[in-house]
Amino acid sequence: MGRVGVVTFPGSLDDGDAARAVRLAGGEPVRLWHAEADLHGVDAVVLPGGFSYGDYLRCGAIARFAPVMEPLVDAARGGMPVLGICNGFQVLCEAHLLPGALVRNDHRTFVCTDQRLRVEASTAWTHEYALGEELVVPLKNGEGGYLADQRTLDELEAEGRVALRYVVPEGGRNPNGSARDIAGVTNAAGNVVGLMPHPEHAVEAGFGPDPRSGTSGTDGLRFFTSALRSLVG
């Protein structure tokens, strides 16, 4: 059984959900406290959603300097699977483990919806999905617009590092103004993934997206089983 650390920062609010998702996927969740520079021997790490340190300065800007981040950055650069969800994605960008930045939604309002995504890359966290497969997981953010300079965006596209993309209806627009409809990105090695939507909220039937919308309600579970099986591999 893989041991997956879930970091709690002051203001985290999806850490419990992330730990539950790890457990439902067959892993052992290990709670990691932001003030401890110790990963306690875990095999992978999830940085959950929320409002770390109240989102003062910029989202994730203070969390990036938390004691737990020093060993986490070293472990990620050494190949440990790391997933950043929503605020966790922001933290990974602030820590320069992923390129780009997350900014306020272009419509300047908070969005909360069941969001359709398309899997664009095989990574430690997505390899159990088929490339091009579409899934539905909740999306909830006020600062979820992914931006990067054109050179970085072109590199992400050329290197196959756009992990997930928002599925946008013909003539429509993505939910937060993200460049090129990008919902998630990965590093070059494929072990670090950041995404804005919340797969941990779609891991058990009856507690996720409504099946009447054409989904099982459990589309997010394979993020976590992917990571656990990549550890075995």
* Residues identified as active-site: 86, 198, 200
Residue 220: which of 136, 102, 96, 154 has the closest Cα? 136
Contacts of 19 by beta carbon, 8 Å cutoff, 6+ apart: 6, 29, 31
Phi and psi, residue 166, nearest 5°: -65, 135
Longest dimension (CA), the chain: 49
What distance lies between CA 93 and its chain's CA centroid? 11
Amino acid letter, 25: A
How far is residue 136's CA from residue 99's CA, in Å, rounded to a whole number? 25
How far is residue 198's CA from residue 32's CA, in Å, rounded to a whole number? 20
Contacts of 40 by beta carbon, 8 Å cutoff, 6+ apart: 5, 30, 32
Burial, 179: exposed, middle or buried (Cβ in 10 Å; 0-12, 13-18, 19+)? middle
